[in-house]
Structure 1
């Protein structure tokens, strides 16, 4: 977990275009031999971070949306929570922004539940069936861009809701319903102290503190 926490920060700061292994080893304070007991390549690290981050985020989001029957409300609430989590934990936004499409499909939270929710929405006529082949791409693309914008610049308080309304409209939901689906208050999700989100955020904050 120390390696995964350190890798998340290094990926957040360096992206995926260079080998991060030496930096991760140094940041985690382990030997090269210890590192290679667990991972062999950059991609191994990226998959491990994506899996751990997805697990943490999905657990928190599903605790809210798991009981929602309406697929449109489930999609809207899930994406809103995802974006607000990314905003609350800058290390998450930075990691997702720096790795971008590299993490899509690598056990990412987006691909954990969204396909079945979108498929249900298409089956029930909640979403426009002519968009069946591109629905997941529309949602994923909007999410990637939204997180990048939040990580690299200032956004309005309701920016996640604006994005979700746009996603819903692109899936064939009417403007009035899209507004209604994104107008309810959300519970504030707080990660466990032992979660990757909290541990990596603590390390990032400590790294940013000036040494005495």
Structure 2
């Protein structure tokens, strides 16, 4: 018997994918013109020129929409972070450097940082590329003896907490001049790096920030605020 294809379902799925992409692509302009906490469904619909019904076919709520925008931005930021991190063989130094880059990127464009903090970033979803990236580094660090033998998820949560606290403090101007060094030092100690090595790594100068993406959602946000 020939396989029966439900063309209506297929078409609906494609339309939802198209509508979702259109709505997400409009988020950069929206969050650059209105406080994130004040965004409503009507605002999203108006900026994307889509109906409320179309919005609710793609997202459960404004929070769901913002989380999707932040996750998309997070994936886009992995490339510049890894462009530096992948060249470092020392896992402890790599983890510290990538954490530092993440903090600086989020704070160099405050609007981007506020979007991330408004959502579930850094994401605890094990399916997210950012989570998997941290997970791989922690697993490698444990295997190579750089980090304490612990459940990988604990190590991931330590990195995630350091990222969030670092960005939050920087955006709220609650940090001292050496806050980044302190955060990296504390993170390395919590992962099991000895005091001397953690102190050395945390004090290594890092002045060159990789270029932010020029395309995608991040590129749009940067172009709108620069």
Rg bigger for which structure?
Answer: 2
- Spell out the pairing of 1:115-134 with structure 2 (5 A cutoff): 115-130=135-150, 132=152, 134=154
Matched, 1:63 2:83: yes
- The gaps in structure 2 that reach 5 residues or longer are 1-23
* Range with bigger deviation, 115-124 or 1-10: 1-10
The structural deviation recorded for 1:147 is: 1.5
After superposition, give the CA deviation of every residue in 1:91-128 in whole Å (9 maximum; x if it has no partner): 12111222246843286564141101101111111111
Secondary structure at the counterpart of residue 116 of structure 1: helix
After superposition, give the CA deviation of every residue in 1:10-67 in whole Å (9 maximum; x if it has no partner): 897218xxx83222223x2513169539723235523431332122210111111112
Alignment-derived partner of residue 209 in structure 1? none
Query: In structure 2, what is the Cα distance between the partners aligned to 1:112 and 1:8?
Result: 28
Query: In structure 2, what is the Cα distance between the partners aligned to 1:49 and 1:71?
Result: 30
- Preserved CA contact (<8 Å) 1:4 1:49: yes
Query: In structure 1, what is the Cα distance between the partners aligned to 2:144 and 2:153?
Result: 16
Secondary structure at the counterpart of residue 129 of structure 1: coil
The structural deviation recorded for 1:161 is: 2.5
Alignment-derived partner of residue 30 in structure 1? 49
* Candidates 51, 59, 82, aligned match of 1:40: 59
Q: Identify the structure with bigger relative contact order (alpha carbons < 8 Å, sequence gap 6+).
A: 1
Count of residue pairs the alignment pairs up: 201
C-alpha spacing 1:40/1:138, structure 2 compared with 1 (3 Å)? closer
C-alpha spacing 1:145/1:13, structure 2 compared with 1 (3 Å)? same
Query: In structure 1, what is the Cα distance between the partners aligned to 2:127 and 2:152?
Result: 22
- Preserved CA contact (<8 Å) 2:122 2:163: no
Query: In structure 2, what is the Cα distance between the partners aligned to 1:12 and 1:178?
Result: 39
The structural deviation recorded for 1:151 is: 2.0
Query: In structure 2, what is the Cα distance between the partners aligned to 1:87 and 1:109?
Result: 21
Query: In structure 2, what is the Cα distance between the partners aligned to 1:63 and 1:79?
Result: 13
Alignment-derived partner of residue 200 in structure 1? 221
**Cα RMSD, aligned residues only:** 3.1
Alignment-derived partner of residue 2 in structure 1? 25
Secondary structure at the counterpart of residue 159 of structure 2: helix
- The gaps in structure 1 that reach 5 residues or longer are 207-212
After superposition, give the CA deviation of every residue in 1:122-141 in whole Å (9 maximum; x if it has no partner): 11111111465522222212
* Range with bigger deviation, 84-93 or 34-43: 34-43
- Preserved CA contact (<8 Å) 2:123 2:131: no
- Preserved CA contact (<8 Å) 1:93 1:150: no
Query: In structure 1, what is the Cα distance between the partners aligned to 2:35 and 2:162?
Result: 19
The alignment's TM-score, normalised by the length of structure 2, stands at: 0.74
The structural deviation recorded for 1:76 is: 0.8
